[in-house]
Amino acid sequence: MKGKSLSKNIRIATKWSTITEFVAKMFVPVTNMILARLLTPDAFGVIATVILIISFADMLSDSGFQKYLIQRDFKTHKEKIESINVAFWTNISISILLWLLIVVFQENIAILVGNPGLGMVIAIAGISLPLTSFSSIQMSIYRRDLDFKTLFHVRLVGVLIPFFITIPLALLGLSYWSLVIGMVSGHLANAILLTIKSYWKPTLFYKFSVLKRMLSFSLWSLAEAISIWATTYIGVFIVSGELNNYYLGLFQTTMVTVNGILAIITTATTSVLFSSLSRLQNNEDEYLKVFLKFMRFIGMIVLPMGVGIFIYRNLLTDILLGEQWQEASLFVGLWGLISSITIVFGQYCSEIYRSKGRPRLSLLVQILYLLGLLPTIMITAKYGYTSLIYGQSLIKIHQILVNWLVVYIAFKISPVMMVKNLLPPIFCSILMGGLPSF
C-alpha cells in the first residue's frame, strides 16, 4: 500500500511540477523576447557578471542544507523540525554576512569580474541573498513532501512580478538596472508567499550538535554545489576577461535562453526524481525501475527538442532574441543539441549520487569535468567567439563519459542499459534530424 501511495504521490508531484515549470518557463522566454529587443547584448553581459557573483554567494549561504532536508530519513518529527530550524538560521546568518562583505568590497569585486565601476549594481543585487535564504528552506520542505501544487501558486506569482516590473523599467531606459530590480522583486515575492503558506514557521531554536550532524552531509553537498557553480559560470568569468560585454552577453544569454527552453521539462522532473529516489534508496529494484522510467520519459521529449533547436536555430534566434542577436544563432543550435543529449545521459546520473547520499561522487564527476572544461574555454576564448562556442558545446560530451564511468563503477548501472532504454527516442530523433535534408 505504501508503494502504491508513493507512486500516486510521484505522479501528482510530477504533474504539478511540470505545470509549474511549463507556466514559469513560458513567461521567462516571453520576457526575454521583449527585453532582448529593448536592451543590448552589452546590458545582458553586465547582468551575467552580477549573477556570477550573487549565485556563488547564494550557494555558500545554502551550505547544502536543502538537499540534506530532502534526502534525510528523519527518525522523529522532532528531529526534522530541529534540523529545519538550524538550517534556516544558519542560512540567514551566512547570507547576511556575505551581503555585507559584497557591500564593503563592491568595487574590488566589480574589477575582479571585469566590470569596474559597477560595484553598486552588485551590492544592490546582493539584497537577493537574504531573500532567497529566507525561502529556500520552505521550498525544500515542500519538495520533500512532494507538494509541488503549493509551489506552483508561489512560483507563478514570483514569475509574474518581474514580468510586470522589468519590462516597464526597460522601456523607461534603465538598461541593466531593470534586470536587477526585477530579479530582486521576484525573490522578495517568493520569500513572502512561501513564509505565509508554509506550515513550518521559524522558531528561536539552535543546537550546534544538530548543525554538526547536518554538516557531515551538507559540506560534501556544498562542495558539489561549488563544483557545479564552477562548471556553470567559469565560462562567464573567463569570457569577461578575454572578450567584451557584447560577446559575453551573446555567450551567456544564449545558454540561459536555450537552457530555459529545455528546463520546461527538466527542472520539473529533476526535483520530483530526486525526492522519489530518496524515498526508494533502500529498495534497489524499484529504485532502478523508477530511474529508467524517468529517463525514458524525458528522452522522448528532450532529444527531439534538441534536434529541433539545431535545425531551426536561425528561426528560433529571430523569435526569441531578435535580429540584433543573429550572431548567436549557431551557438543556439549547438548548445540546444548537445545539452539535450547531456541532460538525458549525464544530468540525471547526478540524482543517483544525491539520492543515495553520495554527494562525494557528484563532486568527483564535476571536478573531472572541470579539468576538461577549464583549459578548453581558456584556449578557445583566445581565438574568438566562434572558437569558444564550439569548445563550450563539444566538451559536454566529456561530462557524459565521466558520469557513465562513475555510475557504472559505484552502482553497477550500465551505460549500455541506459542507451537501450532510450533506443526508440534516439532513433526517432536521428530520423527527425535527417528529414530536412530530403
Confidence of residue 202 (pLDDT cuts 50, 70, 90): confident
Contact 155, 87 (CB under 8 A): no
Q: At what angle do helices 385-394 and 245-279 cross, to 10 degrees?
A: 10
pTM above 0.85, yes or no: no
CB atoms within 10 A of CB 336: 26
What gap in Å lies between CA 258 and CA 316, rounded to an integer?
10
Which range, 160-169, 288-297, 301-310, 355-364, has the best average confidence (pLDDT)? Answer: 301-310
Section 122-132 average pLDDT = 87
Confidence of residue 438 (pLDDT cuts 50, 70, 90): very low
Count helices and strands in the chain by DSSP H and E runs: 20, 0
Write the DSSP symbol of residue 199. S
**Backbone φ, ψ for residue 206 (5° rounding):** -160, 130
Higher per-residue confidence, 343 vs 234: 343
Q: Which sign, positive or negative, has the C-alpha torsion 333, 337, 340, 343?
A: negative
CB atoms within 10 A of CB 172: 10
> What is the structure's pLDDT at 1?
40
CA atoms within 13 A on the CB side of 106: 16
> What is the structure's pLDDT at 337?
93
Confidence of residue 63 (pLDDT cuts 50, 70, 90): low
Domain boundaries of the chain, sorted by first residue: 2-433
Q: What is the pLDDT of residues 424-436, one digit of tens each?
A: 888 888 887 765 5
